[in-house]
Chain A
Amino acid sequence: MSGKSQEVEALLGQKYRHGFVTDIESDSLPPGLDEDVVAAISQKKNEPQFLLDWRLKAYRHWLTMQEPSWAQVHYKPIDYQDISYYSAPRAPANAPKSLDEVDPKLLATYAKLGIPLHERARLAGVAVDAVFDSVSVATTFKDKLGKAGVIFCSFSDAVRDYPQLVERYLGTVVPAGDNFFAALNSAVFSDGSFVYVPPGVRCPMELSTYFRINAAKTGQFERTLIIAAEGASVSYLEGCTAPMRDENQLHAAVVELVALDDARIKYSTVQNWYPGDENGLGGIYNFVTKRGECRGRNSKISWTQVETGSAITWKYPSCVLKGENSVGEFYSVAVANNYQQADTGTKMIHIGRNTRSTIVSKGISAGHAENTYRGLVKILPSASGARNFTQCDSLLMGPKCAAHTFPYMEVKNPTATVEHEASTSKIGEDQLFYCLQRGISAEDAVNMIVSGFCKVVFKELPMEFAVEAQNLLSVSLEGAVG
């Protein structure tokens, strides 16, 4: 289909749309990492002693660890001394106290990304926290949430205002030494979002955080902690973008979720970090640890992710199902085009009785990309009556990409039920021709076929973001079928 492929090559000219750089004065630490840098970050943020101690302990542990090499991804060794571990937009004297004090250039940046921070301009019903490089710049709808008793603020604010909550929950789901990147994050994390929903409260609006990497040669290490107390429920969404740069940038975040008895947390991600150019130059290394613990009875944690960006994605949002009758869910669409590499999946650890988990993973590969699903379903002896259903489907577009599936299962309780289904298909010439023969353009046909493939995942996203995800997907795959 040579005529078609030229047409779509042209469409591929539609480059990454969030690749601009904001010219803003920033306060950065020079590249390099040692105990002084860790202490400097903590000091800049006026942190209490417990947190400094925690960071230093994590740093010392990190020094003893090896970077993992088991994932199906390939990259040049990262020089951890060549990264700046802290970059903040320089604010006049102190941090802005209200949106009016935020640098207008920053607000313009977020407006360009389609995230107006002024509350009146914001989609009704969605509160936004925006993190620029390492620092949270604004959280909207704080007052309205406050009336409901919901705490939604930057991690730094939480450390200042609610240190006892932070100390109680930080690192209880992802311990500081959990893995190489989590340990690094624990030592140097700079900001992120914090959510606490008190007992019995259903959070009155969607919560959303937008992460933006702007400065060159910096890493972004944000940390998110969400706690839903007994009977509480919350839906949270994160979005991510970065400028186009020729060098790779490291993003190593940690997300911890805690659901107590009867609580529900729905965590959705639309990840669109800069993926590198069509020759594989530049792009974000997205090495992220996300884990939720269903600590209480009848609790539920649901991960939904649409991953279209990053040069390399390494993440496995997981659920530890401790509470009896607790439920874990993972719905994922991972797209890899050009030279992108994705090694992603989930872990479902069944500990409590009658715990249930569902995994639906849709991998789409195009260009020269490598897309790997890696999942673990572990059923411990205590998890009588546990059930898991896993479905992994891969869609290949073009002859040069690859899909791999590594489902691991460890079942140590004979009453458990584990089901696994997997499929690999190609966007067939047959499907494409069928649509063309009905008068539908190649571009529309590809979009239609791909969104059909992803439908079960998209319907899990909050309505406002399902549309965004769909658009993102079509931009990411424009020209992928020739």
Chain B
Amino acid sequence: MLLQIADLHARVAGKDILKGVNLEVRAGEVHAIMGPNGSGKSTLAQVLAGREDYEVTGGSVTFEGRDLLTLPAEERARAGLFLGFQYPVEIPGVNNVYLLKAALNAKRKAAGEPEVDAYEFLALIRQKMKFMQMSESFLTRGVNEGFSGGEKKRNEVLQMLVLEPKLAILDETDSGLDIDALKVVSAGVNSLRDPARAVVLVTHYQRLLDYIVPDRVHVLSGGRILKSGDKSLALELEAHGYDGVLGAQVA
């Protein structure tokens, strides 16, 4: 089991948001977490990534058998957990590629590997950028500085492709994308699918799941996963809405 979440409770600013989340993700799987606004989807993503303003009040999370919750955020990242941010932040003056190289080297150092060679790195990043249909100007720009919404999301996926995480949690990576960008981003995610890795997609829209077909779909509502199923659950949600599918459970 790659990721095992048991009875997870968490609060933000004194408010209980997660109220007993249970979820198991095996290597090789793609899971989609859907749910109405305010159901706790982003909170779950942030808690897993280790953001400290999110207080875990109960339950446990193991990642490859290790207790994830005791690790600081940077160690979770180096262990192979990647969060694609819903709103990637701008860091003016810090070169986009410089940050990515620092990130890759931090991960390699933690794994006892030597730092990446500058030329090899440049070749790698050029190749991944081409795949993500990003212009060369991204090599010299500041981290997310002046990027459009769609460019920011592509940049998140680019980082993911370079860092090759074991578990990628993508928080609404599809929001704000036009159909062409959605295809590029989806192709990026699919290229990472591998028997050794898993992806958790947090999304509002079934549309994304046409391109990245999930193994499991979960509905998170009121801080708990109320229903799980295969990809047909997403279609059912689209047809009948959360109220229609969850019925009396939501009240």
Interface residues of A (CB under 8 A from B): 1-4, 428-431, 433-442, 444, 448-449, 451-456
A437 touches B73 (CB 8 A): yes
- Within the complex, what minimum Cβ distance (angstroms) separates B87 from chain A? 8
Q: Is the interface of A mostly helix, strand, loop or mixed?
A: helix
Subset of 11 A-B contacts with CB under 8 Å: A435-B91, A435-B103, A436-B50, A437-B85, A439-B78, A441-B106, A448-B99, A448-B102, A452-B91, A452-B94, A453-B92
Chain A residues lying within 8 Å of B106, measured Cβ to Cβ, are 438-441, 444
Determine whether the beta carbon of A436 is less than 8 Å from that of B77: yes
- Of all chain A residues, the one with the shortest Cβ separation from B88 is A434
Query: Which A residues touch B130, using CB under 8 A?
Result: none
Instruction: Name A435's closest neighbour in chain B (CB-CB).
Output: B99
On whether the beta carbons of A437 and B99 are closer than 8 Å, the reply is no
Digit string of B97-123 for contact with A (CB within 8 Å is 1, else 0)?
Answer: 011101100110010000000000000
Residues of A within 8 A of B103 (CB): 435, 438-440
CB pair A439 B74 closer than 8 Å: yes
- With A3-B72, A451-B93, A452-B142 known as contacts, the answer to whether A433 contacts B51 (CB < 8 A) is yes
A259 to B49, CA, bound (A): 57
Query: Chain B's nearest CB lies how many Å from the CB of A470?
Result: 12
Tell me if B185 is interfacial: C-beta within 8 Å of chain A. Answer: no
What is the CA–CA distance of A1 and B53 in the complex, to the nearest angstrom?
Answer: 7
Report how far A438 CA is from B98 CA in the complex, Å. Answer: 12
Which of A434, A438, A442 sits near B163, CB closer than 8 Å? Answer: A438
Tell whether A438 pairs with B93 under 8 Å between CB atoms, given A3-B72, A444-B102, A448-B99. no
| Nearest-CB residue, chain A, relative to B108 | A439
**Cβ of B182 to closest chain A Cβ, rounded Å:** 23
Q: Which residues of B contact A (CB under 8 A)?
A: 49-53, 72-74, 76-78, 82-83, 85, 88-89, 91-94, 98-100, 102-103, 106-107, 110, 142-143, 159, 163
* Inter-chain contact A437/B77, CB cutoff 8 Å: yes
**Are the C-beta atoms of A436 and B72 separated by less than 8 Å?**
yes
A1 to B98: give the CA distance in the assembly, Å. 25
**Nearest CB on A from B59, distance (A):** 20
In whole angstroms, how far apart are the Cα atoms of A437 and B48 in the complex? 11
How long is the Cα–Cα vector from A213 to B74 in the complex, in angstroms? 42
Return chain B residues, CB-CB under 8 Å to A438. 77, 99-100, 102-103, 106, 159, 163
Contact indicator A437/B78 (Cβ below 8 Å): no
Separation of A455 and B53 alpha carbons in the complex (Å): 30
Contact between A440 and B89, CB atoms less than 8 A apart: no
Question: How long is the Cα–Cα vector from A441 to B107 in the complex, in angstroms?
Answer: 11
Q: Which 4 pairs, one residue from A and one from B, show the smallest C-beta to C-beta distance?
A: A452-B93, A452-B94, A438-B103, A439-B77
Q: Which residues of A contact B92 (CB under 8 A)?
A: 452-453
Give min CB distance, B121 to chain A, whole Å: 15
Q: Is the CB of B93 within 8 A of A456?
A: yes
Q: Tell me the minimal C-beta distance from B88 to chain A in angstroms.
A: 7
Taking A438-B163, A451-B93, A454-B93 as known contacts, 13 extra A-B pairs with beta carbons closer than 8 A to each other, sorted by chain A number, are A428-B89, A429-B53, A433-B51, A434-B89, A434-B91, A438-B77, A438-B100, A439-B78, A439-B110, A440-B99, A441-B74, A448-B102, A453-B93
With A431-B89, A444-B102 as known contacts, state yes or no: A436 contacts B94, CB within 8 Å.
no
What's the Cα separation between A439 and B74 when bound, in Å? 4
The smallest beta-carbon distance between A8 and chain B, in angstroms, is 13
Q: How far is the CB of A27 from chain B (nearest CB, A)?
A: 48
CB distance from A120 to the nearest CB of B (A): 33
